[in-house]
Amino acid sequence: MSAIKIHLEDAEMHPVLRLAKLLHVEPEDIAYAALNRLMLQGRDPEVQNEICHAKKIRDTQLPLWADSAGSVHAYEGMPDCDPARSKYSV
């Protein structure tokens, strides 16, 4: 059997874990279901563009469904932001 490893930031993993817990499944089941949905729509040019766009921004931005990682505003004289749940995830 082949394997694909997915490396997630904590802010990305936490929503996956919450959804898995809600559905009483494993995180791997969430990943497989997501891949299944994506592959069924893979011929759609809009989906292809979204995949390419996600690849380009992955090193610098979290996806909308990820929790915020928090941010440091000390240079702006503002308090640091605490990590928070995304409004797009469970």
Predicted pLDDT at 87: 80
Largest distance between two CA atoms of the chain = 53
Reported as a single tens digit per residue, the pLDDT across 15-37 is 999 999 999 999 999 999 999 99
Kindly tell me the burial class for residue 17, based on how many C-beta atoms sit within 10 Å of its own C-beta (0-12, 13-18, 19 or more).
Answer: middle
Predicted pLDDT at 88: 75
Predicted pLDDT at 71: 56
Reported as a single tens digit per residue, the pLDDT across 45-74 is 999 999 999 999 998 888 888 988 655 555
Closest Cα partner for 31 from 46, 16, 18, 44? 16
- 90 within some domain: no
Angle between helices 27-40 and 10-23 (to 10 degrees): 100
Mean pLDDT of 34-45: 98
| Cα(27)–Cα(46) distance, integer angstroms | 27
Predicted pLDDT at 76: 61
- The tally of domains found in the chain comes to 1
Residue span of the structural domain in which 45 resides:
10-76
- 55 within some domain: yes
- 53 within some domain: yes
Amino acid, single-letter form, for residue 11? A
Q: Are 62 and 11 in contact (CB under 8 A)?
A: yes
- 72 within some domain: yes
